[in-house]
A and B are shown apart, each in its own frame.
Chain A
Amino acid sequence: MKKNENLQSKNNSFLRYLKKYYWLYLFVLPALIWYVIFHYIPMGGVVIAFKRYSGVRGIWDSPWVGLKWFKSFFSSYYSTTIIRNTIVVSFYSLLTFPLPIMLALVLNELKHKRVKQTLQTIMYAPHFISTVVLVTMLNLFFSKSNGFVNNIIVALGGTAYDFMTKPNVFPHMYVWSGVWENLGWNCIIYVAALAGVDPALHEAAAIDGATRLQRIRHINIPCILPTIVITLILKVGHIMSVGADKVLLMKNDLNADTAQVISTYVYERGLISGDYSYAAAVGLFVNVVNLAMLITVNKISKKVTETSLF
Protein backbone atom coordinates (compact mmCIF):
# COMPACT_ATOMS: atom_id res chain seq x y z
CA MET A 1 0.00 0.00 0.00
CA LYS A 2 2.71 2.41 1.04
CA LYS A 3 4.84 1.28 -1.86
CA ASN A 4 2.02 1.97 -4.24
CA GLU A 5 1.54 5.48 -2.90
CA ASN A 6 5.23 6.10 -3.23
CA LEU A 7 5.16 4.95 -6.79
CA GLN A 8 2.18 7.15 -7.50
CA SER A 9 3.79 10.24 -6.02
CA LYS A 10 6.94 9.42 -7.93
CA ASN A 11 4.87 9.16 -11.08
CA ASN A 12 3.17 12.43 -10.26
CA SER A 13 6.42 14.24 -9.69
CA PHE A 14 7.76 12.89 -12.95
CA LEU A 15 4.67 14.12 -14.77
CA ARG A 16 5.04 17.50 -13.06
CA TYR A 17 8.66 17.54 -14.14
CA LEU A 18 7.74 16.75 -17.72
CA LYS A 19 4.97 19.31 -17.73
CA LYS A 20 7.44 21.94 -16.65
CA TYR A 21 10.42 20.97 -18.77
CA TYR A 22 9.06 19.16 -21.83
CA TRP A 23 10.23 22.06 -23.97
CA LEU A 24 13.84 21.20 -23.21
CA TYR A 25 13.26 17.77 -24.72
CA LEU A 26 11.53 19.25 -27.75
CA PHE A 27 14.57 21.50 -28.20
CA VAL A 28 17.08 18.69 -28.14
CA LEU A 29 15.07 15.99 -29.89
CA PRO A 30 15.47 17.06 -33.55
CA ALA A 31 19.27 17.10 -33.23
CA LEU A 32 19.29 13.73 -31.47
CA ILE A 33 17.05 12.18 -34.12
CA TRP A 34 19.42 13.52 -36.77
CA TYR A 35 22.37 11.94 -34.95
CA VAL A 36 20.60 8.60 -34.72
CA ILE A 37 19.70 8.57 -38.40
CA PHE A 38 22.88 9.92 -39.93
CA HIS A 39 25.48 8.62 -37.49
CA TYR A 40 24.19 5.66 -35.50
CA ILE A 41 22.32 3.86 -38.26
CA PRO A 42 25.45 3.97 -40.49
CA MET A 43 27.46 2.71 -37.52
CA GLY A 44 25.15 -0.29 -37.47
CA GLY A 45 25.47 -0.52 -41.23
CA VAL A 46 29.14 -1.25 -40.72
CA VAL A 47 28.17 -4.94 -40.44
CA ILE A 48 28.31 -5.07 -44.23
CA ALA A 49 32.09 -5.17 -43.78
CA PHE A 50 31.56 -8.73 -42.55
CA LYS A 51 28.97 -9.66 -45.19
CA ARG A 52 28.68 -9.98 -48.93
CA TYR A 53 26.36 -7.05 -49.37
CA SER A 54 24.11 -6.89 -52.36
CA GLY A 55 21.65 -4.09 -52.97
CA VAL A 56 18.90 -6.53 -53.88
CA ARG A 57 19.07 -8.58 -50.68
CA GLY A 58 19.65 -5.61 -48.36
CA ILE A 59 21.94 -5.40 -45.36
CA TRP A 60 20.25 -8.02 -43.16
CA ASP A 61 19.67 -10.75 -45.72
CA SER A 62 23.13 -10.59 -47.26
CA PRO A 63 25.26 -13.62 -46.29
CA TRP A 64 28.01 -13.40 -43.68
CA VAL A 65 31.58 -13.79 -44.92
CA GLY A 66 33.55 -13.15 -41.72
CA LEU A 67 36.88 -11.42 -42.20
CA LYS A 68 37.11 -12.17 -45.91
CA TRP A 69 37.33 -8.51 -47.02
CA PHE A 70 39.90 -7.60 -44.40
CA LYS A 71 42.04 -10.55 -45.42
CA SER A 72 41.79 -9.77 -49.08
CA PHE A 73 42.68 -6.11 -48.46
CA PHE A 74 45.73 -6.90 -46.36
CA SER A 75 46.95 -9.59 -48.72
CA SER A 76 46.60 -7.34 -51.78
CA TYR A 77 49.79 -5.85 -53.18
CA TYR A 78 48.47 -2.27 -53.07
CA SER A 79 47.36 -2.27 -49.42
CA THR A 80 50.88 -1.55 -48.14
CA THR A 81 51.31 1.27 -50.64
CA ILE A 82 48.00 2.87 -49.69
CA ILE A 83 48.61 2.55 -45.97
CA ARG A 84 52.16 3.84 -46.37
CA ASN A 85 50.95 6.83 -48.42
CA THR A 86 48.38 7.64 -45.78
CA ILE A 87 50.87 7.45 -42.95
CA VAL A 88 53.49 9.49 -44.83
CA VAL A 89 51.10 12.35 -45.51
CA SER A 90 49.63 12.14 -42.04
CA PHE A 91 52.92 12.12 -40.13
CA TYR A 92 54.34 14.79 -42.37
CA SER A 93 51.33 16.98 -41.50
CA LEU A 94 51.85 16.14 -37.84
CA LEU A 95 55.45 17.36 -38.08
CA THR A 96 54.20 20.84 -38.96
CA PHE A 97 52.29 20.85 -35.69
CA PRO A 98 54.77 23.19 -33.88
CA LEU A 99 54.46 25.90 -36.57
CA PRO A 100 51.23 27.49 -35.29
CA ILE A 101 52.64 27.44 -31.77
CA MET A 102 55.79 29.23 -32.94
CA LEU A 103 53.76 31.76 -34.89
CA ALA A 104 51.54 32.40 -31.86
CA LEU A 105 54.61 32.96 -29.67
CA VAL A 106 55.92 35.47 -32.22
CA LEU A 107 52.56 37.23 -32.52
CA ASN A 108 52.41 37.45 -28.75
CA GLU A 109 55.62 39.51 -28.78
CA LEU A 110 54.18 42.19 -31.07
CA LYS A 111 53.65 45.36 -29.05
CA HIS A 112 51.24 47.23 -31.31
CA LYS A 113 47.82 45.72 -30.70
CA ARG A 114 46.42 47.22 -33.90
CA VAL A 115 49.19 45.84 -36.11
CA LYS A 116 48.89 42.42 -34.52
CA GLN A 117 45.13 42.41 -35.06
CA THR A 118 45.43 43.44 -38.71
CA LEU A 119 48.12 40.87 -39.48
CA GLN A 120 46.07 38.15 -37.84
CA THR A 121 42.95 39.04 -39.80
CA ILE A 122 44.89 38.70 -43.05
CA MET A 123 46.40 35.40 -41.90
CA TYR A 124 42.93 33.93 -41.37
CA ALA A 125 41.87 34.61 -44.95
CA PRO A 126 43.32 31.45 -46.58
CA HIS A 127 41.36 29.34 -44.09
CA PHE A 128 38.08 30.46 -45.65
CA ILE A 129 39.07 29.52 -49.17
CA SER A 130 37.46 26.32 -50.40
CA THR A 131 39.49 23.20 -51.08
CA VAL A 132 38.51 23.32 -54.74
CA VAL A 133 39.78 26.87 -55.08
CA LEU A 134 42.97 26.03 -53.20
CA VAL A 135 43.78 23.14 -55.52
CA THR A 136 42.89 25.23 -58.57
CA MET A 137 45.36 27.84 -57.34
CA LEU A 138 48.02 25.16 -56.86
CA ASN A 139 47.46 24.00 -60.42
CA LEU A 140 47.73 27.55 -61.74
CA PHE A 141 50.80 28.62 -59.79
CA PHE A 142 52.73 25.37 -60.08
CA SER A 143 51.78 24.59 -63.67
CA LYS A 144 54.74 23.53 -65.77
CA SER A 145 53.80 25.88 -68.56
CA ASN A 146 53.95 29.45 -67.35
CA GLY A 147 53.00 28.76 -63.79
CA PHE A 148 54.18 31.55 -61.53
CA VAL A 149 56.58 29.31 -59.59
CA ASN A 150 58.13 27.72 -62.66
CA ASN A 151 58.56 31.15 -64.25
CA ILE A 152 60.70 32.15 -61.29
CA ILE A 153 62.67 28.91 -61.49
CA VAL A 154 63.30 29.46 -65.20
CA ALA A 155 64.21 33.11 -64.66
CA LEU A 156 66.77 32.01 -62.10
CA GLY A 157 68.27 29.66 -64.65
CA GLY A 158 66.58 26.40 -63.62
CA THR A 159 64.37 24.13 -65.67
CA ALA A 160 60.61 24.00 -65.30
CA TYR A 161 59.39 21.23 -63.04
CA ASP A 162 56.03 19.51 -63.15
CA PHE A 163 55.01 19.83 -59.50
CA MET A 164 51.47 18.60 -59.83
CA THR A 165 52.14 15.26 -61.49
CA LYS A 166 55.36 14.02 -59.88
CA PRO A 167 54.64 11.36 -57.23
CA ASN A 168 57.60 12.33 -55.07
CA VAL A 169 56.42 15.95 -54.74
CA PHE A 170 52.82 15.16 -53.85
CA PRO A 171 53.33 14.91 -50.05
CA HIS A 172 55.15 18.26 -50.01
CA MET A 173 52.48 19.96 -52.07
CA TYR A 174 49.72 18.50 -49.92
CA VAL A 175 51.27 19.34 -46.57
CA TRP A 176 52.64 22.80 -47.32
CA SER A 177 49.51 24.01 -49.07
CA GLY A 178 47.75 22.88 -45.92
CA VAL A 179 50.16 24.89 -43.82
CA TRP A 180 49.52 27.97 -45.95
CA GLU A 181 45.78 27.45 -45.62
CA ASN A 182 45.57 26.85 -41.90
CA LEU A 183 48.63 28.17 -40.10
CA GLY A 184 47.13 31.57 -39.28
CA TRP A 185 43.85 30.06 -38.22
CA ASN A 186 45.37 27.29 -36.15
CA CYS A 187 47.44 29.72 -34.12
CA ILE A 188 44.37 31.59 -32.79
CA ILE A 189 43.81 29.04 -30.07
CA TYR A 190 47.40 29.51 -28.82
CA VAL A 191 47.20 33.29 -29.10
CA ALA A 192 44.08 33.10 -26.93
CA ALA A 193 45.86 30.85 -24.44
CA LEU A 194 48.86 33.21 -24.34
CA ALA A 195 46.58 36.14 -23.63
CA GLY A 196 45.65 34.33 -20.42
CA VAL A 197 49.23 34.20 -19.11
CA ASP A 198 49.56 36.19 -15.89
CA PRO A 199 51.62 39.38 -16.64
CA ALA A 200 52.95 39.29 -13.06
CA LEU A 201 55.02 36.23 -14.00
CA HIS A 202 56.72 38.19 -16.77
CA GLU A 203 57.32 41.20 -14.54
CA ALA A 204 58.89 39.07 -11.85
CA ALA A 205 61.08 37.27 -14.37
CA ALA A 206 62.14 40.55 -15.99
CA ILE A 207 63.21 41.93 -12.63
CA ASP A 208 65.25 38.80 -12.06
CA GLY A 209 67.03 39.51 -15.34
CA ALA A 210 65.44 36.90 -17.59
CA THR A 211 65.74 37.69 -21.30
CA ARG A 212 62.67 37.63 -23.49
CA LEU A 213 63.71 34.35 -25.00
CA GLN A 214 64.09 32.86 -21.55
CA ARG A 215 60.70 34.16 -20.55
CA ILE A 216 59.11 32.58 -23.61
CA ARG A 217 60.86 29.33 -22.87
CA HIS A 218 60.09 29.21 -19.14
CA ILE A 219 56.81 31.09 -18.82
CA ASN A 220 54.84 31.18 -22.08
CA ILE A 221 55.43 27.64 -23.25
CA PRO A 222 54.65 25.95 -19.91
CA CYS A 223 51.50 28.08 -19.60
CA ILE A 224 50.09 26.96 -22.93
CA LEU A 225 51.25 23.36 -22.59
CA PRO A 226 47.79 21.97 -21.74
CA THR A 227 46.36 23.56 -24.89
CA ILE A 228 49.23 22.09 -26.92
CA VAL A 229 48.70 18.62 -25.48
CA ILE A 230 44.95 18.59 -26.09
CA THR A 231 45.35 19.73 -29.69
CA LEU A 232 48.03 17.11 -30.22
CA ILE A 233 45.87 14.31 -28.84
CA LEU A 234 43.05 15.30 -31.19
CA LYS A 235 45.47 15.33 -34.14
CA VAL A 236 46.80 11.88 -33.34
CA GLY A 237 43.22 10.63 -33.06
CA HIS A 238 42.88 11.27 -36.78
CA ILE A 239 46.29 9.98 -37.80
CA MET A 240 44.93 7.39 -40.22
CA SER A 241 42.29 9.61 -41.76
CA VAL A 242 43.72 11.85 -44.40
CA GLY A 243 40.58 13.58 -45.67
CA ALA A 244 39.49 12.42 -49.10
CA ASP A 245 38.44 15.88 -50.32
CA LYS A 246 41.74 17.54 -51.02
CA VAL A 247 43.56 14.38 -52.09
CA LEU A 248 40.84 13.51 -54.60
CA LEU A 249 41.29 16.94 -56.14
CA MET A 250 45.09 16.73 -56.28
CA LYS A 251 45.32 13.13 -57.42
CA ASN A 252 45.81 12.32 -61.09
CA ASP A 253 46.95 9.31 -63.08
CA LEU A 254 50.56 10.37 -62.84
CA ASN A 255 50.96 10.96 -59.11
CA ALA A 256 48.64 8.18 -57.91
CA ASP A 257 51.66 6.23 -56.63
CA THR A 258 51.86 8.51 -53.61
CA ALA A 259 48.48 10.24 -53.77
CA GLN A 260 46.27 7.19 -53.36
CA VAL A 261 45.37 7.21 -49.65
CA ILE A 262 42.89 5.07 -47.74
CA SER A 263 40.01 7.54 -47.89
CA THR A 264 40.29 8.06 -51.64
CA TYR A 265 40.59 4.32 -52.12
CA VAL A 266 37.41 3.75 -50.09
CA TYR A 267 35.62 6.30 -52.26
CA GLU A 268 36.80 4.75 -55.52
CA ARG A 269 36.28 1.12 -54.55
CA GLY A 270 32.99 1.77 -52.77
CA LEU A 271 31.12 4.53 -54.53
CA ILE A 272 32.63 4.28 -58.00
CA SER A 273 33.21 0.54 -58.43
CA GLY A 274 30.37 -0.51 -56.15
CA ASP A 275 32.40 -2.93 -53.98
CA TYR A 276 30.46 -1.80 -50.95
CA SER A 277 31.42 -4.50 -48.47
CA TYR A 278 35.09 -4.38 -49.34
CA ALA A 279 35.27 -0.58 -49.11
CA ALA A 280 33.29 -0.60 -45.85
CA ALA A 281 35.82 -3.04 -44.39
CA VAL A 282 38.73 -0.78 -45.33
CA GLY A 283 36.90 2.22 -43.88
CA LEU A 284 36.16 0.36 -40.66
CA PHE A 285 39.82 -0.61 -40.31
CA VAL A 286 40.80 3.08 -40.45
CA ASN A 287 38.18 4.14 -37.93
CA VAL A 288 39.18 1.45 -35.47
CA VAL A 289 42.88 2.35 -35.75
CA ASN A 290 42.04 6.02 -35.20
CA LEU A 291 39.96 5.30 -32.14
CA ALA A 292 42.66 3.04 -30.71
CA MET A 293 45.32 5.70 -31.32
CA LEU A 294 43.18 8.36 -29.65
CA ILE A 295 42.61 6.24 -26.56
CA THR A 296 46.28 5.24 -26.33
CA VAL A 297 47.66 8.75 -26.72
CA ASN A 298 45.10 10.06 -24.28
CA LYS A 299 46.22 7.48 -21.72
CA ILE A 300 49.91 8.22 -22.20
CA SER A 301 49.27 11.92 -21.92
CA LYS A 302 47.25 11.43 -18.76
CA LYS A 303 50.22 9.70 -17.17
CA VAL A 304 52.99 11.93 -18.47
CA THR A 305 51.51 15.42 -18.54
CA GLU A 306 48.37 15.00 -16.44
CA THR A 307 46.42 16.58 -19.27
CA SER A 308 43.83 14.49 -21.06
CA LEU A 309 40.78 14.71 -23.22
CA PHE A 310 38.68 12.33 -21.15
Chain B
Amino acid sequence: MKIIVVVPVYNEESRVVEVIKKILESTGCQIVVVNDGSTDDTRQVLDKFLAKNKRVTLLNHLFNLGKGASVKTGVEKAWILGAEAVVIIDADGQHSPKDLPRFEKALKRYLIVFGYREFDGEVPYIRKLGNIVATNLVGWLWGVRRKDLLSGFIGFRKEIYKQIYWYSRRYGLETEIATKVGRYKIPFKEIKIDTIYLDKYKGVSVVDAIKILGQTPVWFFEK
Protein backbone atom coordinates (compact mmCIF):
# COMPACT_ATOMS: atom_id res chain seq x y z
CA MET B 1 0.00 0.00 0.00
CA LYS B 2 1.41 3.40 -0.93
CA ILE B 3 1.34 5.63 2.13
CA ILE B 4 2.37 9.27 2.14
CA VAL B 5 3.18 11.20 5.30
CA VAL B 6 1.62 14.67 5.47
CA VAL B 7 3.29 17.28 7.66
CA PRO B 8 1.52 20.63 8.21
CA VAL B 9 3.94 23.31 9.43
CA TYR B 10 3.47 26.74 10.88
CA ASN B 11 6.32 28.76 12.35
CA GLU B 12 8.57 25.86 13.31
CA GLU B 13 11.90 27.10 11.99
CA SER B 14 13.80 25.56 14.90
CA ARG B 15 12.13 22.13 14.88
CA VAL B 16 10.82 21.23 11.44
CA VAL B 17 14.10 20.05 9.92
CA GLU B 18 14.75 17.73 12.84
CA VAL B 19 11.24 16.31 12.58
CA ILE B 20 11.56 15.69 8.85
CA LYS B 21 14.98 14.06 9.32
CA LYS B 22 13.44 11.68 11.87
CA ILE B 23 10.54 10.91 9.53
CA LEU B 24 12.99 10.16 6.71
CA GLU B 25 14.89 7.82 9.02
CA SER B 26 11.78 6.08 10.37
CA THR B 27 9.97 5.33 7.13
CA GLY B 28 10.54 4.85 3.43
CA CYS B 29 7.33 6.71 2.58
CA GLN B 30 7.14 9.88 0.53
CA ILE B 31 6.45 13.02 2.50
CA VAL B 32 4.35 16.08 1.69
CA VAL B 33 5.16 19.12 3.80
CA VAL B 34 2.70 22.02 3.78
CA ASN B 35 4.13 25.31 4.99
CA ASP B 36 1.02 27.14 6.14
CA GLY B 37 2.09 30.72 5.56
CA SER B 38 4.81 30.74 8.20
CA THR B 39 6.02 34.21 9.14
CA ASP B 40 9.36 33.07 10.57
CA ASP B 41 12.19 31.44 8.59
CA THR B 42 10.41 28.09 8.21
CA ARG B 43 10.19 28.44 4.44
CA GLN B 44 13.85 29.37 4.02
CA VAL B 45 14.93 26.56 6.31
CA LEU B 46 12.82 24.05 4.39
CA ASP B 47 13.92 25.29 0.96
CA LYS B 48 17.54 24.86 1.97
CA PHE B 49 17.10 21.45 3.60
CA LEU B 50 14.88 19.99 0.90
CA ALA B 51 16.76 21.37 -2.10
CA LYS B 52 18.09 17.97 -3.15
CA ASN B 53 15.57 15.72 -1.47
CA LYS B 54 13.32 13.91 -3.89
CA ARG B 55 11.28 12.08 -1.29
CA VAL B 56 9.77 15.28 0.05
CA THR B 57 7.30 17.57 -1.73
CA LEU B 58 7.00 21.06 -0.27
CA LEU B 59 3.88 23.16 -0.70
CA ASN B 60 3.65 26.75 0.52
CA HIS B 61 0.45 28.57 1.42
CA LEU B 62 0.57 32.27 0.60
CA PHE B 63 -0.72 33.05 4.07
CA ASN B 64 -1.89 31.13 7.10
CA LEU B 65 -5.15 29.25 6.66
CA GLY B 66 -5.00 26.93 9.65
CA LYS B 67 -4.12 23.32 10.39
CA GLY B 68 -7.29 21.82 8.92
CA ALA B 69 -6.82 23.62 5.61
CA SER B 70 -3.10 22.83 5.36
CA VAL B 71 -3.69 19.14 6.11
CA LYS B 72 -6.31 19.11 3.36
CA THR B 73 -3.79 20.66 0.94
CA GLY B 74 -1.27 17.96 1.85
CA VAL B 75 -3.76 15.10 1.67
CA GLU B 76 -5.11 16.16 -1.72
CA LYS B 77 -1.55 16.40 -3.03
CA ALA B 78 -0.91 12.93 -1.64
CA TRP B 79 -3.86 11.54 -3.61
CA ILE B 80 -2.47 13.18 -6.77
CA LEU B 81 0.90 11.51 -6.06
CA GLY B 82 -0.86 8.15 -5.98
CA ALA B 83 -1.19 7.57 -2.25
CA GLU B 84 -3.66 4.96 -1.05
CA ALA B 85 -3.38 6.16 2.54
CA VAL B 86 -1.91 9.07 4.45
CA VAL B 87 -0.51 9.59 7.92
CA ILE B 88 -0.67 13.09 9.37
CA ILE B 89 2.09 14.07 11.75
CA ASP B 90 2.71 17.44 13.41
CA ALA B 91 5.91 19.36 12.67
CA ASP B 92 6.42 20.69 16.18
CA GLY B 93 8.00 17.50 17.55
CA GLN B 94 4.98 16.47 19.62
CA HIS B 95 4.55 13.30 17.57
CA SER B 96 7.40 10.83 17.48
CA PRO B 97 8.19 9.67 13.92
CA LYS B 98 9.36 6.34 15.30
CA ASP B 99 5.66 5.48 15.69
CA LEU B 100 5.13 5.76 11.92
CA PRO B 101 5.89 2.11 11.08
CA ARG B 102 3.14 1.06 13.51
CA PHE B 103 0.66 3.33 11.73
CA GLU B 104 1.72 1.87 8.38
CA LYS B 105 1.18 -1.66 9.70
CA ALA B 106 -2.21 -0.82 11.24
CA LEU B 107 -3.45 0.86 8.04
CA LYS B 108 -3.14 -2.45 6.22
CA ARG B 109 -5.94 -3.78 8.45
CA TYR B 110 -7.91 -0.69 9.47
CA LEU B 111 -9.47 2.15 7.50
CA ILE B 112 -8.42 4.74 10.06
CA VAL B 113 -5.85 4.75 12.83
CA PHE B 114 -5.59 7.25 15.69
CA GLY B 115 -2.67 7.82 18.00
CA TYR B 116 -3.50 8.28 21.68
CA ARG B 117 -1.48 9.72 24.54
CA GLU B 118 -1.68 8.76 28.18
CA PHE B 119 -0.84 12.25 29.46
CA ASP B 120 1.99 11.33 31.70
CA GLY B 121 4.68 13.95 32.13
CA GLU B 122 4.39 17.72 32.20
CA VAL B 123 1.15 18.36 30.39
CA PRO B 124 -0.72 21.34 31.87
CA TYR B 125 -3.71 20.29 33.93
CA ILE B 126 -6.14 22.44 31.98
CA ARG B 127 -5.09 20.70 28.73
CA LYS B 128 -5.54 17.26 30.28
CA LEU B 129 -8.95 18.23 31.65
CA GLY B 130 -10.03 19.78 28.35
CA ASN B 131 -9.02 16.66 26.47
CA ILE B 132 -10.83 14.35 28.89
CA VAL B 133 -14.02 16.43 28.75
CA ALA B 134 -13.96 16.71 24.95
CA THR B 135 -13.13 13.02 24.43
CA ASN B 136 -15.92 11.86 26.70
CA LEU B 137 -18.50 14.38 25.48
CA VAL B 138 -17.96 13.63 21.78
CA GLY B 139 -17.82 9.91 22.55
CA TRP B 140 -21.10 10.02 24.43
CA LEU B 141 -22.88 12.26 21.93
CA TRP B 142 -21.73 10.76 18.65
CA GLY B 143 -20.87 7.19 19.52
CA VAL B 144 -17.13 7.32 18.89
CA ARG B 145 -15.34 6.00 21.98
CA ARG B 146 -11.80 7.29 21.77
CA LYS B 147 -8.99 7.52 24.30
CA ASP B 148 -7.60 10.84 23.07
CA LEU B 149 -9.88 12.90 20.82
CA LEU B 150 -7.44 15.73 20.23
CA SER B 151 -4.42 13.75 19.05
CA GLY B 152 -3.45 14.93 15.60
CA PHE B 153 -1.47 11.79 14.80
CA ILE B 154 -3.94 10.18 12.40
CA GLY B 155 -3.69 7.80 9.48
CA PHE B 156 -6.49 6.93 7.10
CA ARG B 157 -7.11 5.27 3.76
CA LYS B 158 -8.27 7.10 0.65
CA GLU B 159 -11.50 5.08 0.45
CA ILE B 160 -12.95 6.83 3.52
CA TYR B 161 -11.77 10.35 2.61
CA LYS B 162 -15.17 11.38 1.29
CA GLN B 163 -16.89 10.25 4.47
CA ILE B 164 -14.50 11.99 6.87
CA TYR B 165 -13.95 15.02 4.62
CA TRP B 166 -13.58 17.99 6.97
CA TYR B 167 -14.50 21.64 6.59
CA SER B 168 -12.63 22.89 9.66
CA ARG B 169 -9.83 25.14 8.62
CA ARG B 170 -8.20 25.46 12.01
CA TYR B 171 -8.12 23.23 15.07
CA GLY B 172 -11.46 21.49 14.68
CA LEU B 173 -9.93 18.97 12.25
CA GLU B 174 -9.41 16.12 14.75
CA THR B 175 -12.84 16.53 16.34
CA GLU B 176 -14.58 16.74 12.98
CA ILE B 177 -12.89 13.57 11.73
CA ALA B 178 -13.79 11.77 14.97
CA THR B 179 -17.41 12.92 14.77
CA LYS B 180 -17.70 11.65 11.22
CA VAL B 181 -16.11 8.33 12.18
CA GLY B 182 -18.96 8.07 14.70
CA ARG B 183 -21.54 9.17 12.11
CA TYR B 184 -20.54 6.50 9.59
CA LYS B 185 -19.57 3.92 12.21
CA ILE B 186 -16.14 3.46 10.63
CA PRO B 187 -14.12 0.85 12.54
CA PHE B 188 -10.87 2.32 13.80
CA LYS B 189 -7.68 1.37 15.61
CA GLU B 190 -5.94 3.33 18.35
CA ILE B 191 -2.17 3.17 18.85
CA LYS B 192 -0.43 4.39 21.97
CA ILE B 193 2.05 7.14 21.16
CA ASP B 194 4.55 9.06 23.26
CA THR B 195 3.27 12.09 25.15
CA ILE B 196 5.54 14.95 24.17
CA TYR B 197 4.38 18.38 25.26
CA LEU B 198 6.44 21.36 24.16
CA ASP B 199 4.35 24.50 23.76
CA LYS B 200 2.22 25.63 26.68
CA TYR B 201 0.61 28.48 24.76
CA LYS B 202 -0.02 26.83 21.43
CA GLY B 203 -3.10 24.89 20.45
CA VAL B 204 -6.79 25.14 21.21
CA SER B 205 -8.01 27.78 23.67
CA VAL B 206 -11.08 27.26 25.87
CA VAL B 207 -13.11 29.51 23.56
CA ASP B 208 -11.93 27.55 20.49
CA ALA B 209 -12.85 24.29 22.24
CA ILE B 210 -16.38 25.47 23.00
CA LYS B 211 -16.85 26.61 19.39
CA ILE B 212 -15.54 23.27 18.07
CA LEU B 213 -17.76 21.21 20.37
CA GLY B 214 -20.71 23.40 19.36
CA GLN B 215 -20.15 22.49 15.72
CA THR B 216 -20.15 18.71 16.25
CA PRO B 217 -23.92 18.36 15.69
CA VAL B 218 -23.54 20.01 12.27
CA TRP B 219 -20.67 17.67 11.34
CA PHE B 220 -22.61 14.64 12.55
CA PHE B 221 -25.87 15.37 10.75
CA GLU B 222 -24.81 17.08 7.53
CA LYS B 223 -24.56 14.99 4.40
A and B: bona fide binding partners: no
List residues of chain A with CB under 8 Å of any chain B CB: none
List residues of chain B with CB under 8 Å of any chain A CB: none
